[in-house]
Amino acid sequence: MKQRLRILFITLSLYVASCKNDFNINGPAEDVYMFNCILRNDTSVQYALISKNYYTDNGTTPAPNSIEQNIKGVIIKIYTNDSVFVMRDTTIQVAYSGNINQVNCYYVKNLIMNPGQVIRFDATSPDGNILKSTIRVPQISYGNFSPNFPQIYRPADPTEFLPGYQTKPYYSWNWVGATEESTTILSLPQLEVYYKKYDAGTFVDKKILIPLALYYIVDKDRNVIPVNVELSFNRSCVTTLEAVNKAMQDISGNDPYKENYIITKVDFSVISLDPVLTKYYSANNTYSESFTVKLRQTDFSNIEGGKGLFGIYYKFSNPLVVDSFYVKSFGYRYAPS
């Protein structure tokens, strides 16, 4: 889960990276605009940060107070199909390293993204400098697994065995598009049970994650040990019926009033980072120890006319067919949302 939390704060990380005193003093002495924006489909508000670094006359690295952290008056437009979204400036509070920081940025609401969609932006500064970039939303294809929850095992010869629940439910997915994208998109699968708990006179929405594994190994003492999923290029995962049952039991724990719990839906979801965001994340977090020389964060840029990152964090959710009898076996109610 630490990997996932890092994703959630990656927008802030880019902001901090943009303000670091980290420049190539051997390069040309030019003022540089930096634009950072990670579009997410799990929120209704998108944010962008644009700053500028002023170099000294002799080309040496600028002092921290020469970094203008948010340029005012920039016109930022995001294009999706036939729609144009214009971002507005605002100030938000962000918690980072135990401190609350005031961050000046730009935002836009209700930007809709669809799988396979091409999205582009352009930003025009007050002095006429133009930054732009184009990206594409990943597109998923699910494997041939049972869409039921729990997964149902149907024998080839029903006269030999009766149908039952899979003891090791298996899930898989792939990426539609260019072949190389299968190894340039990091992803993280999740099996999510959504439910409502009656508390203090009202129902509260909650969620529990069922543990998923890449595979299982058996140690010398014959203990079965899961190799847990994480952000990776793997495109399959497995769990056990035992893990599913335990998660369902944990929803209510020792609470004797099982009827106060309502299961509303179960999703098999896949969180994905587009190829640009995957490249940035891989080098700075996942595989940093494998590099002899750590790549500079400012080298990760897909912004024409400046520096920075324009990428996509996209969560795909595939609703499963819930077995109401299975839900009721725990004493819970089932009311699909």
pLDDT in tens, 226-276: 899 999 999 999 999 999 999 999 999 999 999 999 999 999 999 999 998
Q: Which domain holds residue 214?
A: 140-270+318-334
Which ranges of the chain would DSSP assign to H, the alpha helix?
2-8, 10-18, 241-252, 275-281, 324-328
Residues 122 and 164 in one domain: no
What gap in Å lies between CA 262 and CA 205, rounded to an integer? 10
Residue 2 φ/ψ, nearest 5 degrees = -60, -35
Residues 324 and 299 in one domain: no
pLDDT at 162: 59
Torsion, Cα of 160, 163, 168, 174 (10° steps): 110
Residues 135 and 149 in one domain: no
Asked whether residue 177 carries a pLDDT value surpassing 80, the answer given is no
What gap in Å lies between CA 240 and CA 243, rounded to an integer? 5
Q: What percent of the chain is predicted at pLDDT more than 90? A: 58
pLDDT at 159: 61
* Contact in structure between 298 and 307 (CB atoms under 8 Å): yes
Residues 17 and 72 in one domain: yes
Residues 42 and 23 in one domain: yes
**How many other C-beta atoms lie within 10 A of the C-beta of residue 52?**
21
Residues 7 and 57 in one domain: yes
Reference 144, options 176, 180, 174, 178; nearest CA is 174
Instruction: Domain count for the chain, please give it.
Output: 2
With cut-offs at 50, 70 and 90, classify the pLDDT of residue 190: very high
Residues 67 and 153 in one domain: no
SS (H, E, C) 176-245: CCCHHHHHCCEEEEEEEEEEEEEECCEEEEEEEEECCEEEEEECCCCCEEEEECCCECCCEEECCHHHHH
pTM of the complete model: 0.83
Q: Are strands 148-149 and 321-322 parallel, antiparallel or unpaired?
A: parallel
Write b or e for each residue in 221-247: b if 16 or more Cβ atoms lie within 10 A of its Cβ, otherwise e. Answer: eeeeebeebebeebbebbbbbebbbeb
Q: Render pLDDT for 281-303 as a digit per residue (tens, 0 to 9).
A: 877 764 333 332 333 444 678 99
Asked whether residue 92 carries a pLDDT value surpassing 90, the answer given is no
Residues 63 and 85 in one domain: yes
